[in-house]
């Protein structure tokens, strides 16, 4: 029962972040607002950055879209909200604060994981050279576990803080989700 509660918490938390992010944060510039979508009957969309690995073991950052939303109540009698169930299974939720000037060096993600910046700005640079800066309202899926060292010995991604202050992240590790190769934007 405790595992089921943790799974439900993880799915609920990620769903809430996606719904809140789509309506309230910078992602709203790209997303259709829930209210407008409800009135027009059109499903909303929201985006995330996917750090994925190709068949050669090179990591990439690709902007992807969530777009399979269903309008329903998460807990009746609460009103309906747009939901997109991305994964179900065991998850670990970690709050992390990267100190000022944090540098993560080159490394692969430890698990397939959603990373949601709550405060501050950080960056991820893939092996192909693509660098993305993310802050509150952005979402990232880290899935570069199958990367292989390049000629310079780089494997996975380079990450670090942008600016002078600390960065607060919420990390949702999908415990039973196996990493894939060659499948950018696999969560839609």
Q: Residue 38 has what pLDDT?
A: 55
pLDDT band of 36, cuts 50, 70, 90: low
Before 77, cis peptide (omega within 30)? Answer: yes
The residue that leads in pLDDT, 146 or 17, is 146
pLDDT band of 143, cuts 50, 70, 90: very high
How many residues comprise the chain?
188
- Whether the predicted pLDDT of 168 surpasses 90: yes
Longest CA pairwise span in the chain (Å): 57
Q: Residue 28 has what pLDDT?
A: 38
The residue that leads in pLDDT, 15 or 156, is 156
pLDDT band of 159, cuts 50, 70, 90: very high
- Angle formed at CA 83 by CA 51 and CA 13, multiple of 5 degrees: 65
Residue 57 CA to residue 74 CA, distance in Å, equals 39
- Whether the predicted pLDDT of 160 surpasses 90: yes
- Whether the predicted pLDDT of 24 surpasses 50: no
Residue 123 CA to residue 121 CA, distance in Å, equals 7
- Whether the predicted pLDDT of 3 surpasses 60: no
Q: Residue 152 has what pLDDT?
A: 96
Q: Residue 43 has what pLDDT?
A: 86
Mean pLDDT value across the chain = 85
What is the fold of 46-174? Jelly Rolls (2.60.120)
Predicted confidence (pLDDT) per residue in 46-89, tens digit? 999 999 999 999 999 999 998 889 999 999 999 999 999 888 88
Pairing assessment for the beta strands 113-119 and 140-142 based on DSSP bridges = antiparallel
Residue 16 CA to residue 5 CA, distance in Å, equals 16
Is residue 82 within 8 A of residue 37, CB to CB? The reply is yes
pLDDT band of 176, cuts 50, 70, 90: very high
Is residue 136 within 8 A of residue 26, CB to CB? The reply is yes
Give mean pLDDT, residues 86-110: 95
pLDDT band of 39, cuts 50, 70, 90: low
* Distance in angstroms between the alpha carbons of the first and the last residue of the chain: 29
């Amino acid at each position: 029962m405790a595992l089921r509660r943790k799974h439900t918490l993880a799915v609920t938390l990620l769903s809430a972040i996606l719904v809140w992010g789509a309506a309230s944060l910078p992602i709203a510039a790209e997303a259709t607002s829930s209210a407008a979508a409800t009135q027009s009957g059109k499903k909303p969309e929201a985006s995330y950055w996917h750090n994925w690995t190709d068949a050669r073991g090179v990591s990439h950052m690709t902007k992807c879209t969530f777009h399979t939303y269903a309008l329903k109540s998460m807990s009746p009698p609460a009103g309906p909200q747009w939901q997109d169930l991305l994964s179900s299974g065991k998850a670990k939720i970690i709050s992390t604060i990267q100190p000022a000037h944090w540098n993560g060096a080159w490394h692969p993600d430890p698990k397939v994981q959603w990373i949601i910046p709550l405060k501050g700005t950080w960056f991820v640079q893939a092996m192909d050279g693509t660098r993305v800066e993310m802050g509150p309202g952005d979402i990232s899926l880290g899935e570069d576990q199958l990367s292989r060292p390049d000629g310079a010995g780089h494997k996975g991604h380079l990450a670090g803080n942008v600016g002078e202050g600390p960065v607060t992240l919420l990390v949702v590790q999908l415990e039973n989700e196996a990493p894939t190769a060659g499948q950018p934007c696999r969560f839609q």
